[in-house]
Structure 1
Amino acid sequence: MNFKHTPTPRLVSKFIASYDKLFEGFSPQQIAPHESPTQFWSSLLSLKVDISYLGGKFRIIDKDALLTFHKPFINELFSSCLFYLRTVSYGDSRKINSMETLSVVLRCCLEKNLAGWEAMELFAGGVAESDTVFLDFVGIIDTILSDESASADIKHRVLQLAVVFACSINQLSPGAYLLRKNFFPALLKMIKDPETQAFGFEAALLLAIISNFHRTDAAKLNPCLQSVKEVEDREMLKCICYTANYTMDSVIKSYQEISDDSPPTFASSMSNLFASFRPDRALSATPVDPHRELFKNQPVEAAVILLPIHDFIRLNPVFNAVLLEPLMLQQQQQTASEKASLPPLLYTLLSMSSYVLSHASSIASPRATAYANLCLATFLDLVENDVAMSSFLQPGLSAIRLCRQRQPPLPQGANNRPAIGALLDCCVLWLRHNFHKKLEVRSYVCCTWVLQRVIWFLSKTKRRLEYHWEELWRALNFLLDFLANKTEVAPSSRAERLVQETVLLLDCSIRYAESFLPSPSAVHQLVYELVRSSSVLQKHHTVFSQTTHRSPSKSANSSTAAANAAYHHLIDVVSHYEGKVQESGVASSAVAVLRVISKEVERDGLFGGKEQNEEEAPKHADELGEVGFIRFACADGLALMPGPD
């Protein structure tokens, strides 16, 4: 007999069946005619949320359909979730399910580039109702976060919901409702409480996102931002440092997993030597950079922890004291457990920054460049703090591992060298490895400001720093050469500003060379590098003859005048020593030229140099303004939260 095969009917969960009907436009009364709307939503929100299904359904809906056909359903769903989130007990499944549903709805709907008023229409039913709905929403979050009877799991879930909302809404107008509640006390308690310390990353991230909401025009109305400035709870600040330290360490490891750049040991050096004798390695005389495409997703999203750290460094003096405290301890004061744990946060920050700055423009990623800009802005805030600079000059507690994935690597620093050496290395790595047609002029200017402040402080305090200074001078000269030959790198006014700041940096260096360079030979080397780049300096002559007429403001005129004076002083110094070299009649070899320069400096002193730095400290952090990082912070913060694939 021939039996016809009957396909087995596909079983569909009640959750999916109910939502399928809702997405098709059926009302709760049509789907469950024997239940009231309240009973329907209560029943639906009692079911375990299928996050992948729900996210998939919302993501296939276009924006127009979302704001028209699906708007009544979303209004009702949002309102029902808020009701059960507010009213039912912590043990009721509807509370957790409402959180998960809201998280999916907010994330997937706000992905569609809604305007602020459209978000109010979609979730609240209209602009007129937005105060009621959104104040209820943020009030519920604050209540649960502050409730001592809520479990750690519940607090973690509602914290993640808050992060999803804050990151999804970004700078849209409904985000202002987050400023109507002061979340800081609840977040502070979560960061300190042993039961919730594990969620310190999300708490610090939420604090940073809220603090940066329309920061330039809403700062006085932002209670979180005011609290970041004023908090003096050292225990809480130490917890943030602890969380950031481990998070940044994971960011560093993600780079190292792509390309192992462990410092060479004697054994590895011998192994590489013997390997080079193999026929297949014979033509590989020099190491090559790992393929840039491998780093296209770096840094990993966890690097967003840099934003709250930057804010605290910039705004809070007590945080700076906590951050710098380990550097002020002598080596013998460290306990065995401290030596076995991670290095101080500042060391980890420098290490992570070295990787970010080395690879920032490897693939022309605006995100990677934004992270580099934030690293440099953080450096600028640190070096403009005299206490921080004094801490940077203390003998190192341990070696700071810096990126060695780009060739040629910088010379290896001693284990106990001061942290300032690692900071200078980070700046050199940025200068070396980020030359492109579309030059990141703002970041390069910030880098020169960092270096200006370091050299000013060293010369002012007469601290002679052992460092491979020639690497810095060569990087700066190469930058000037690049700018002279690439007229299309940036709008002329911005490129000229970078030339001016670089010249100011070199001029400051030569004026006070004998105050901060570690030896006479280091002074001779600086003069030699300037003489060697004489033609590069001459290429910028027209820039300095033209900029005087372009400055639009008094402060700009003052800056331009200082740069012009610095340029002509540099030219005078270079011309003086070029003349001495020509008079000597020696061969033009590097050794011979350096010998002539050394003799001249030793006999007559440094031409154009000064014994005492009487200049005021350069201050540029306020001029730098906002770092423009918030959209990347929101995207990365959202990517770290659980949600639909």
Structure 2
Amino acid sequence: MATLESPLVRVERGSLQPKIIGLYQQLFKEGAKAPETDGFWVEFFILKANPSAFSVILEGFSAEDLLQMQGIAQTVFTRGVRSLSDSNPAIVANAMDTLTILIREILAKQFTSSEVITVLVGLDRVDREFMEFVDALERIMRTGSTKLRIAALRATLSTVCCTYKTSLINFFIQRDLFPVLVQIIYDDATTSHTFEAFVLLGVLSNYDKLEAYNPYQTRLADFVDESVMQKIVVAIGRICKEAREEYIAVADDAADGFSLESMFSSYSGLARRAKSALLQQDPQMTANSALAQLPPLSATILLATSNFVQANKFFSQVLIETKTVAQEETPFGSYLSLSSYLLQHQHRSERHACYARLAMLVHRILVEDPVAMQKLVSIECRSSMRLCRQRQPCLPFVKGERFLIEGILDTLIGAVDHNMKRALDVPMYILAIGTIQRIISQLKRLRIRLKYHWSELWKSIFSFLRFITVSSEHLRGIQGMSILIDDTIRVLVLAFSAGEAFLSGAADYDDLFYKLIETGQLLTKLSTVYDMPREHSSIGTLISISEHYHNLIKERSMFSSGHLSSEQVSDIIKSGYDTLSISAQQGIDYWDRYRESDERVFLKRIGWVAVVDAQELLGRKLLPNVDTSNAIVTNGNGIYVGNGSEH
């Protein structure tokens, strides 16, 4: 008699999977042909898309495989674009998900630009069908439901990033998306996605802008809507603040002291995820490893910020002036804060260095503009700023609100102090020193005597001169070193010749001379090892000042027993002014204005870095949500503006 199987016994029936996955597999298999019946495609796009499963299937094919399956890929693309016009929101959403993954995975293969077009849409139909795709995305961003508008925004950002190095991006350049992106930023229903819209605007405006006409550059230059600008500035400030917190999570550098023991006291974000494993390792190595992974991917917003500042002086003013109520740190204060962390750690990776240089370029552009410079030294625009103190030596901690120009100077000092190495980043130092020169020159012209810890600046510059003197054997052959040295010396000559116009008082001026006297024979050694002529030159002027005071000190020492005290040296400095003659250097306080063409290579490199980071954010679904709909902001005069409910 046969044994009956108990109905209680579990029988494996095989795992169930969503039907859409079966359709993906049915489509993309060897020898398959694209179905021609409308019924298949109605079902395909009405089923909820499974982006992760679709991505895995496409990843399994080589570039050669996809070339063989071009008919299927083209049909999916064409049918998907048609579905973007469907009246059913679910079908539209599924079509966008499908097209986004299809484009991303095809572009990830090692295809030439023409091969990409061949696989995706076909060379003979690309103009018509891809433009239809771009038009559909624009229409959905403009007229769709809130959910669909955001989905279309992300699909557009993903596609633009994927096609950045192909000719397909030109369809997005030709189709003016600026108005719809501004509308997304402005509308309360979508303003929390200002980050994505602004990053997309940055990528589009950066593309090929120095080789061909870019309409987004013109749009940025002509834009005057202050309320939209303020929403963007608030978003920039919040993103910068969150990015700074990633650094603090690795090593809390609060003013009350920083130590390796406190390094993990407030772990969050990236550090928290690996805390248990990291604590078993050496703390310093752990911190270095974590810091090397920074800045976070959201730093991609710095590209759009730089493009807007370069193109639009009014935006620069709004960036500086905007304040959020009940926040001591203004958005630009947060920007300076992140800049300080970027610049102190810029040596850790090429990516780090790119974002640090981009932040510093914004500093330079702002201080070169007389109107922006006025606001950087305005009482109304002051802000508190948490500046990086993660590496020794640290600058004096200043509590409360400060002039924004002080924050810029502090970040530049940090850049000079913490990146000295044999493989010196000469372009970065030229930019940092050049920006310092511009600040001093502007302060002189404006006759603004800034109360600032100038002693720290002179200490930093003389330390740098000492470093390049000692390391001359390794640095002498680096391109641009002669320019860097000359620029550094010119800063000091400018300070000695015009100190009374921008230093806060006699004590600061005396300290400058004291710092020079302390250097001893440094300048003479510097001029010797780098073969610098002394006649009618900046280095010759400094050496003559130094020799003047050393002769006075030598004379006084003949009538004193032992070494002179610091008070006696100070007396000599004051008395030596009467007999000191500083030869005026022609054009010592003049400089060339910033030109984007001078940064052509760098701007291409940072453009790609920002695109890769934006792609990574989309792929990992880590896009930050920055709600500016209820942000009450004020301009530099304290007048409430924006869409806040309280006025």
Superposition TM-score tier, normalisation by shorter sequence: 0.7 to 0.9
- 1:341-378 per-residue CA deviation (whole Å, 9 max, x = no partner) reads 363221111111111112221x3x11111010001100
Distance between the aligned counterparts of 2:373 and 2:145, measured in 1?
43
> Cα–Cα, structure 1 residues 644 and 189, in superposed 2: closer, same or farther, change >3 Å?
closer
- Please provide the CA RMSD for this pair: 3.2
Maintained 8 Å contact 1:187/1:203: yes
SS at match of 1:493: coil
- 1:580-604 per-residue CA deviation (whole Å, 9 max, x = no partner) reads 2233327999973673254233453
**Match status 1:641 vs 2:618:** yes
> Cα–Cα, structure 1 residues 229 and 618, in superposed 2: closer, same or farther, change >3 Å?
same
Q: Which amino acid aligns with 2:369?
A: N
Equivalent in the alignment of 1:146: 142
Maintained 8 Å contact 2:236/2:301: yes
**498, 502, 508: which is aligned to 1:522?**
508
**415, 422, 425: which is aligned to 1:430?**
415
SS at match of 2:52: helix
The within-5 A match list for 1:177-188 is 177-188=171-182
Equivalent in the alignment of 1:169: 163
The within-5 A match list for 1:103-118 is 103-118=100-115
> Cα–Cα, structure 1 residues 201 and 387, in superposed 2: closer, same or farther, change >3 Å?
same
Distance between the aligned counterparts of 2:154 and 2:561, measured in 1?
66
**Match status 1:622 vs 2:627:** no
Equivalent in the alignment of 1:215: 209
**Match status 1:11 vs 2:16:** yes
> Cα–Cα, structure 1 residues 7 and 417, in superposed 2: closer, same or farther, change >3 Å?
closer
Distance between the aligned counterparts of 1:585 and 1:115, measured in 2?
76
Q: Shift of the alpha carbon at 1:488?
A: 3.6
Q: Which amino acid aligns with 2:420?
A: F
Equivalent in the alignment of 1:607: 580
Maintained 8 Å contact 1:49/1:101: yes
Q: Shift of the alpha carbon at 1:463?
A: 1.8
- 1:209-241 per-residue CA deviation (whole Å, 9 max, x = no partner) reads 0001111012x3x22211101011111111111
Distance between the aligned counterparts of 2:441 and 2:404, measured in 1?
17
Query: 55-64 or 599-608, which moves further after superposition?
Result: 599-608
Maintained 8 Å contact 1:251/1:352: yes
SS at match of 1:405: coil
> Cα–Cα, structure 1 residues 47 and 565, in superposed 2: closer, same or farther, change >3 Å?
same
Q: Shift of the alpha carbon at 1:574?
A: 1.7
Equivalent in the alignment of 1:276: none
**68, 76, 94: which is aligned to 2:91?**
94
Q: Shift of the alpha carbon at 1:420?
A: 1.3
**Match status 1:458 vs 2:457:** no
Query: 43-52 or 476-485, which moves further after superposition?
Result: 476-485
Equivalent in the alignment of 2:372: 388
**Match status 1:405 vs 2:410:** no
Gaps of 5+ in 1: 273-286, 328-337, 549-560
The within-5 A match list for 1:47-86 is 47-66=47-66, 68-85=67-84
Distance between the aligned counterparts of 1:231 and 1:490, measured in 2?
46
Distance between the aligned counterparts of 1:17 and 1:564, measured in 2?
81
Equivalent in the alignment of 1:264: 256
- 1:103-142 per-residue CA deviation (whole Å, 9 max, x = no partner) reads 112222222353322222221222x432223212211122
> Cα–Cα, structure 1 residues 528 and 62, in superposed 2: closer, same or farther, change >3 Å?
farther
**569, 572, 575: which is aligned to 2:541?**
569
**Match status 1:348 vs 2:334:** yes
Q: Shift of the alpha carbon at 1:102?
A: 1.4
Equivalent in the alignment of 1:502: 488
Q: Which amino acid aligns with 1:9?
A: G
Gaps of 5+ in 2: 263-282, 623-647
- 1:600-624 per-residue CA deviation (whole Å, 9 max, x = no partner) reads 3345348344899986642341174
Maintained 8 Å contact 1:601/1:607: no
Maintained 8 Å contact 2:233/2:322: no
Distance between the aligned counterparts of 1:526 and 1:480, measured in 2?
15
> Cα–Cα, structure 1 residues 125 and 339, in superposed 2: closer, same or farther, change >3 Å?
closer
- 1:14-63 per-residue CA deviation (whole Å, 9 max, x = no partner) reads 2222222333224356xx7xxx4433222222221222212222223333
Equivalent in the alignment of 2:627: none
Distance between the aligned counterparts of 1:115 and 1:14, measured in 2?
34
- 1:393-426 per-residue CA deviation (whole Å, 9 max, x = no partner) reads 2236442111112223210124233121111110
**216, 225, 240: which is aligned to 1:248?**
240
- 1:258-295 per-residue CA deviation (whole Å, 9 max, x = no partner) reads 22222229xx99x99xxxxxxxxxxxxxx989831121
Distance between the aligned counterparts of 1:430 and 1:590, measured in 2?
36
> Cα–Cα, structure 1 residues 612 and 595, in superposed 2: closer, same or farther, change >3 Å?
farther
Q: TM-score, with normalisation over the residues of structure 2? A: 0.83
Q: Shift of the alpha carbon at 1:625?
A: 2.6
Q: TM-score, with normalisation over the residues of structure 1? A: 0.84
The within-5 A match list for 1:483-502 is 483-484=468-469, 485-489=471-475, 491-502=477-488
SS at match of 1:512: helix
SS at match of 1:291: helix
SS at match of 1:540: helix
- The size of the alignment, in residue pairs, is 589
Maintained 8 Å contact 1:581/1:597: no
> Cα–Cα, structure 1 residues 22 and 428, in superposed 2: closer, same or farther, change >3 Å?
same
The within-5 A match list for 1:587-602 is 592=565, 595-596=568-569, 598-602=571-575
> Cα–Cα, structure 1 residues 339 and 200, in superposed 2: closer, same or farther, change >3 Å?
closer
> Cα–Cα, structure 1 residues 589 and 177, in superposed 2: closer, same or farther, change >3 Å?
farther
> Cα–Cα, structure 1 residues 5 and 159, in superposed 2: closer, same or farther, change >3 Å?
closer
**Match status 1:531 vs 2:529:** no
SS at match of 2:421: coil
Q: Which amino acid aligns with 2:29?
A: E
Maintained 8 Å contact 2:73/2:121: no
